Structure 1
């Protein structure tokens, strides 16, 4: 197949300069401190009429920092569990998706884990978005609040995703020293962000992570939602007078900058035919990972399902969690 990005030999050496602003860490410490003052207000309802009998299924709602109700599925193996006995894994979904269905987590419960899958606010699930944005955006979510990191859409999303870890840590049966986070595409970017901003995850498993190396991604992609950023410039700033301001905002949410702060052991999957999350953007994040790391490379695959990689993740969890 023709290359959709740099040759592999160049990708293996591709380590672009980080774009984190000097106040990157202070920005996120302030944000986390503020959200920690907001009660989680989690409600947990047992689903009693599901045909799966080998697991317990709970419909969960917790509050984002602005009161937005975030919905999730939480599952555990059937039966009683001693306090602190279950390792736990948190799943984040792809762009415009949702928390999925409880059976999507069945393999983790069958391995003896608790598992939690959550909506991203305002996207394809039942979770709304109560945040307000001070200027217009192109269709989608990539450009909401683009000119200020304090009001950018993904600030609340990243904090929502950290609060998913808060929820699993609040459960008596979970072992808070054995937490994994994972997801594909947007979910991979969210797993990187949570592992970069929170020390609790022991393992991180991003699959072709989105939200990485933004400037390169906007230049290189040919499919997927990075086009929303181009469309924002077409609509609101055709001369690109605010380009540096926009990319400054995005730098606070860049998975490449997050990766440099990840201490969790990480398994990343990258596909070389990916035109949505270009391989160079994923390699940029991988090469900046601060902790122990492993790479699964799939040269002939693009932005698509990788069922064989699901088994690789299960083996990774079995070995290290």
Structure 2
């Protein structure tokens, strides 16, 4: 089998190149305290989409920094047999994209699961990004806010948005707080990891080829292109002689999902293509090998960062088995 990364046996032992900051835990404790001080100002509005078995809503809430965050919310009309509350699924989308069509989520609602699909702030959906940081904001969400310190990192806010959504869902009278799961591919896979790590009540976790892991490994493989191209662009524009190289990667380590992975308590299913040059397999295994909860990984030896045949069916079976 051709390979673009380590041999599989080495991947199974790899735990990452990027170092965990000594104050990592304190950093996220402070972030969660900040989140707790935010009034979410929840608004739920009936959407224009109609189905015979579920009701569709636009849900809005306020995240850190004053951003109004949007999520599609689908509430089944009938409780599953033997239940008094609904299980729920939080869905996160890929980089620069949006929460997708309503119809792509209706199968879960038809099976009696409430669905919440969040638009990441500042990307393709309806969520706001108030900004207020120095430097590049045209793309560059990985490095956005980095010049102002690790507490201003864009993805710090996004991770907190996922937690805010999870907390709001778990507090709903119609939702079983012990039956809330998360799912996502690529950026969405990273957000599923972050959400489950920072909100340990998450029941099940699906992460498919997660983004935002082991940044230094990506750099050393010369794969800071495509989704990670903003790292190279940052150095070319703002640090051409690499005087701030170590500090750059130190700050990014606070949003590196491999360091969050050990905090996950829920059962995990991961999908990985071993020919992935967008999110290299080693960066994905850096996450997987740090997960201490019950877990399983599905490998696609000949596939890249693309559709993985049969993966959606495996995800369905995993999530519905509750």
Q: TM-score range by the shorter chain?
A: over 0.9
Partner of 1:128, secondary structure, is: coil
* Distance in structure 2 (CA, Å) of the matches to 1:60 and 1:27: 29
Partner of 1:225, secondary structure, is: helix
Q: TM-score, normalised by structure 2?
A: 0.94
Conservation of the 8 A alpha-carbon contact between 1:183 and 1:206:
yes
Is 1:157 matched with 2:155?
A: no
In the alignment, what sits opposite 1:24? Answer: 24
In the alignment, what sits opposite 1:52? Answer: 51
Conservation of the 8 A alpha-carbon contact between 2:78 and 2:112:
no
Is 1:68 matched with 2:67?
A: yes
* Distance in structure 1 (CA, Å) of the matches to 2:8 and 2:238: 37
Conservation of the 8 A alpha-carbon contact between 2:79 and 2:85:
no
CA shift digits 1:249-279 (9 cap, x unpaired): 1111111101122121111111111110000
What's the RMSD between the two structures over aligned residues?
1.9
Conservation of the 8 A alpha-carbon contact between 1:90 and 1:181:
yes
Conservation of the 8 A alpha-carbon contact between 1:223 and 1:275:
no
Runs of at least 5 residues in structure 1 that lack an aligned partner in the other structure: none
State the 1:107 CA deviation: 1.8
Distance 1:84 1:51, change over 3 A: closer
CA shift digits 1:225-272 (9 cap, x unpaired): 211101100111011111111111111111110112212111111111
Aligned length: 319
Match of 1:268 among 267, 270, 273: 270
* Distance in structure 2 (CA, Å) of the matches to 1:163 and 1:316: 25
Conservation of the 8 A alpha-carbon contact between 2:76 and 2:110:
yes
Conservation of the 8 A alpha-carbon contact between 2:278 and 2:305:
yes
Conservation of the 8 A alpha-carbon contact between 1:18 and 1:257:
no
Partner of 1:235, secondary structure, is: helix
Runs of at least 5 residues in structure 2 that lack an aligned partner in the other structure: none
* Distance in structure 1 (CA, Å) of the matches to 2:263 and 2:256: 12
In the alignment, what sits opposite 2:211? Answer: 210
In the alignment, what sits opposite 2:5? Answer: 5
In the alignment, what sits opposite 1:77? Answer: 76
The equivalences for 1:6-155 within 5 A come to 6-16=6-16, 19-47=19-47, 49-79=48-78, 85-136=85-136, 139-147=139-147, 148-155=149-156
Report which stretch shifted further, 127-136 or 22-31: 127-136
* Distance in structure 1 (CA, Å) of the matches to 2:54 and 2:314: 23
Partner of 2:307, secondary structure, is: coil
Distance 1:46 1:244, change over 3 A: same
* Distance in structure 1 (CA, Å) of the matches to 2:63 and 2:84: 25
State the 1:222 CA deviation: 6.3
State the 1:162 CA deviation: 0.7
Partner of 2:146, secondary structure, is: coil
State the 1:307 CA deviation: 5.2
In the alignment, what sits opposite 1:285? Answer: 287
* Distance in structure 1 (CA, Å) of the matches to 2:162 and 2:45: 20
Conservation of the 8 A alpha-carbon contact between 2:224 and 2:232:
no
Distance 1:288 1:203, change over 3 A: same
State the 1:13 CA deviation: 2.3
Q: TM-score, normalised by structure 1?
A: 0.94
CA shift digits 1:179-219 (9 cap, x unpaired): 11110000000111111111120111100000011111233
State the 1:137 CA deviation: 5.7
* Distance in structure 2 (CA, Å) of the matches to 1:250 and 1:222: 14
Report which stretch shifted further, 189-198 or 12-21: 12-21
Conservation of the 8 A alpha-carbon contact between 1:213 and 1:254:
yes
